[in-house]
Chains A and B, each alone.
Chain A
Amino acid sequence: MRNIWTIAKREYNHYFISPLAYVVAFSILMPLGIYFAIIVFATSQQAFSGAPPPDITPITWLFCFLLVFTTPVLTMRLLSDEARMGTLELLLTAPIRDFELVVGKWLSALLFILTILAITLVYPIILHFALVSPGIDQKLLLSAYLGVILVAAAFLALGVGISAIFTNQFASFFVTFGLFFFLWFMVSLPANLLPSGGDALNYLNMSSHFTDALNTGNVKLSDLIYYFSLIALGLFTGTTAIEIRRWR
């Protein structure tokens, strides 16, 4: 645990001196801010006409949508760059296990996303207290934020896994981005066209496990298992890729 934390801490601090991380934070927070302003405007107009209470889920949905494009930037260099700069040799000859290295890297990226997510908490707070009563649905809020965290954790784990395979960070980026785009937008498209196996494709579809499940306040075990499987797969891939690097 201690090693994981040491690795994560260094990498987390590194994000704050990296311009790319600020670009990521900006490209998440900027669209969210604009979108939020629109929601506040709409809600305040509807407040007089007895409309439904304000809703946070458009914000969490947009957050996840943006994660598809931004998380590959956060993970692309995590292990690729270590391999390119030769510092991987330092870490692989330090008394830490390969999985501690991979999990530490993943945790750092997750903490960075959680930091951004914490900033977005001002939106539900404003919606809840500053606008119309009875405020927002708090159970839905928790479920939606849990969803965002799980989506981010799964994306980042897969990203770290891919980053362990490639020495070139741009190769990591494009493979990671391609995979996320496929998982989020593409995988269930042919589901209705196939004679069989459509259900399996639908299960693989990442966005449905968020948009139709956690982001509606519906916390189901099958969705949680889906995300935990992806996290495990990503971290396992990363650890194995490092192991293979040793044997080459």
Chain B
Amino acid sequence: MIQVNGLTKDYGARRALHEISFDANQGEIVGFLGPNGAGKTTTMRILTGYMPPTDGTAVVAGYDVVEESLEVRRRVGYLPETVPLYTDMTALDYLKFMADLRHIPNSEERAYETLEMVNLKDRATGYIGNFSKGMRQRIGLAQALIHRPEVLILDEPTIGLDPAQVVEIRNVIRDIGKDRTVLLSTHILTEAQQICDRVLIINKGKIVAEDTPDNLQSRLVGSQRVVLRVRGESDELPAKINKVKGVRHVEAKPDGSVEFEFSAGQDVRPQVAKSIIQAGFDLLEMRPVGMSLEEIFLELTRDNATGKKSS
């Protein structure tokens, strides 16, 4: 559904994309993960026909994005990073306008149906200018869905939503992704893990890794970090933990908790728990600390620097 080959984009002298290539198939949700300025939005803008690439080709829904831009745009739904809304229109009028631009018959009916999909039917006649950020985000998503596109491109779709709405939007996206192609960008790792079938990590205009979220994490996470808390405070605790075989980098935190690391595949948590309980501490909490996106990036860029390319 999406085939990208050697895509390059220059903004003046600055190269924003360096010959990136990837595919996305029907029924697949592909996550685009990367820090700000990595080239996510640029790639999406090229795929939606907003701007042409400097070099390389991209085929979306069977059409070339440069040669057959209009055909591509007919088949793609796009939610840009800054949600493009006319604040002086009602939600219904806005969606009707978008439906008319896409020549959808019975645009009003379709607008209502789409509002229902994003759970905003009861606010159909409200002015978008009075909507909260989460509602605006959902209207933006509705606009991208109005023509039931084959390919959906979403630039940070859950940004600015409250946790309940995030779950809701993720469910909507997952539903849509069953029989369509979804490409979404995010910088939240858990989000990519939860909804994407495949993740592309992009940094400085290059794809540095491509895999399923689980593989990616297990490949990258060489060691597991755990935070541990006991009742009261104790100076002996770090030393106690340090004695357990396999434990590394024990660190007492200012808030009284202790963090330590162990190699993945060699889970020492039971031994640690046993030893501190035997020492008379009341164990209150022990939980893993996920590897943050920043750490994954550091990991990946380090890989690149030493020549071990990960994709």
User: A residues near B, CB below 8 A?
Assistant: 2-3, 6-7, 10, 14, 17-18, 85-97, 246-248
B side interface size, CB within 8 A: 26
Within the assembled complex, what's the spacing in Å between the Cα atoms of A246 and B70? 14
Q: Is the CB of B97 within 8 A of A246?
A: no
Q: Which of B75-114 contact A (CB under 8 A)?
A: 76, 78, 80, 82-86, 88, 97-98, 100-103
**Chain A nearest CB, measured from B239 CB (Å):** 57
Name A93's contact: one of B50, B86, B100 (CB within 8 Å). B50
**4 closest cross-chain pairs (CB), A and B:** A90-B84, A86-B82, A87-B84, A95-B73
Contacts of B97 in A (CB 8 A): 6, 10
Q: Is the CB of A87 within 8 A of B85?
A: yes
Please count the residue pairs between chain A and chain B whose beta carbons lie under 8 angstroms apart in the complex.
59
Contacts of B102 in A (CB 8 A): 94-95
Q: Is the CB of B80 within 8 A of A90?
A: yes
**Chain B nearest CB, measured from A9 CB (Å):** 8
In the complex, what residue of chain B is closest to A6 when comparing beta carbons? B100
Contacts of B78 in A (CB 8 A): 93
12 contacts between A and B (CB under 8 A): A6-B100, A85-B84, A86-B82, A87-B85, A88-B84, A89-B82, A90-B98, A90-B143, A93-B76, A95-B73, A246-B50, A246-B51
In the complex, what residue of chain A is closest to B94 when comparing beta carbons? A10
Within the assembled complex, what's the spacing in Å between the Cα atoms of A247 and B12? 10
Within the assembled complex, what's the spacing in Å between the Cα atoms of A94 and B49? 9
Q: Is the CB of B88 within 8 A of A17?
A: yes
Within the assembled complex, what's the spacing in Å between the Cα atoms of A87 and B70? 18
**Chain A nearest CB, measured from B261 CB (Å):** 44
Contacts of B84 in A (CB 8 A): 85-90
Q: Is the CB of A247 within 8 A of B52?
A: yes
In the complex, what residue of chain B is closest to A88 when comparing beta carbons? B84
**Chain A nearest CB, measured from B148 CB (Å):** 14
**Chain A nearest CB, measured from B295 CB (Å):** 33
Name A247's contact: one of B51, B85, B103 (CB within 8 Å). B51
Within the assembled complex, what's the spacing in Å between the Cα atoms of A117 and B49? 40
Q: Is the CB of A96 within 8 A of B101?
A: yes
B18 at the interface (CB under 8 A from A): no
Q: Is the CB of B48 within 8 A of A93?
A: yes
B133 at the interface (CB under 8 A from A): no
Within the assembled complex, what's the spacing in Å between the Cα atoms of A85 and B84? 7
B187 at the interface (CB under 8 A from A): no
| Chain A residues touching B, majority SS | helix
User: B48, B52, B84: which has the most chain A beta carbons within 10 Å?
Assistant: B84
Q: Is the CB of B70 within 8 A of A95?
A: yes
In the complex, what residue of chain B is closest to A17 when comparing beta carbons? B88
In the complex, what residue of chain B is closest to A86 when comparing beta carbons? B82
B121 at the interface (CB under 8 A from A): no
Q: Is the CB of B98 within 8 A of A87?
A: no
Name A94's contact: one of B82, B86, B98 (CB within 8 Å). B98
Q: Is the CB of A14 within 8 A of B88?
A: yes
Q: Is the CB of A6 within 8 A of B73?
A: no
Within the assembled complex, what's the spacing in Å between the Cα atoms of A96 and B100? 11
Q: Is the CB of B52 within 8 A of A93?
A: no
Q: Given A6-B97, A87-B85, A97-B70, are A92 and B50 also a contact pair (CB < 8 Å)?
A: yes
B74 at the interface (CB under 8 A from A): yes
Within the assembled complex, what's the spacing in Å between the Cα atoms of A248 and B85? 23
Name B73's contact: one of A2, A88, A94 (CB within 8 Å). A94
**Chain B nearest CB, measured from A16 CB (Å):** 11
In the complex, what residue of chain A is closest to B72 when comparing beta carbons? A95
Contacts of B70 in A (CB 8 A): 95, 97
Contacts of A90 in B (CB 8 A): 80, 84, 98, 143
Q: Is the CB of A89 within 8 A of B50?
A: yes
Within the assembled complex, what's the spacing in Å between the Cα atoms of A86 and B84? 5
Q: Given A3-B101, A6-B101, A94-B102, are A87 and B86 also a contact pair (CB < 8 Å)?
A: yes
**Can you name 9 extra interface pairs (CB under 8 A) apart from A89-B82, A94-B98?**
A85-B86, A86-B82, A86-B83, A87-B86, A89-B84, A93-B49, A93-B76, A93-B78, A246-B51
In the complex, what residue of chain B is closest to A96 when comparing beta carbons? B101
**Chain A nearest CB, measured from B71 CB (Å):** 8
Within the assembled complex, what's the spacing in Å between the Cα atoms of A96 and B78? 14
In the complex, what residue of chain B is closest to A18 when comparing beta carbons? B88
Q: Is the CB of A93 within 8 A of B101?
A: no
In the complex, what residue of chain A is closest to B78 when comparing beta carbons? A93
Name B74's contact: one of A6, A95, A248 (CB within 8 Å). A95
Contacts of B48 in A (CB 8 A): 93
Within the assembled complex, what's the spacing in Å between the Cα atoms of A10 and B90? 12
Contacts of A97 in B (CB 8 A): 70
Within the assembled complex, what's the spacing in Å between the Cα atoms of A166 and B76? 28
**Chain A nearest CB, measured from B109 CB (Å):** 17
Contacts of A86 in B (CB 8 A): 80, 82-84
Within the assembled complex, what's the spacing in Å between the Cα atoms of A7 and B83? 19
**Chain A nearest CB, measured from B41 CB (Å):** 10
**Chain B nearest CB, measured from A81 CB (Å):** 10
Within the assembled complex, what's the spacing in Å between the Cα atoms of A94 and B149? 12
In the complex, what residue of chain B is closest to A90 when comparing beta carbons? B84
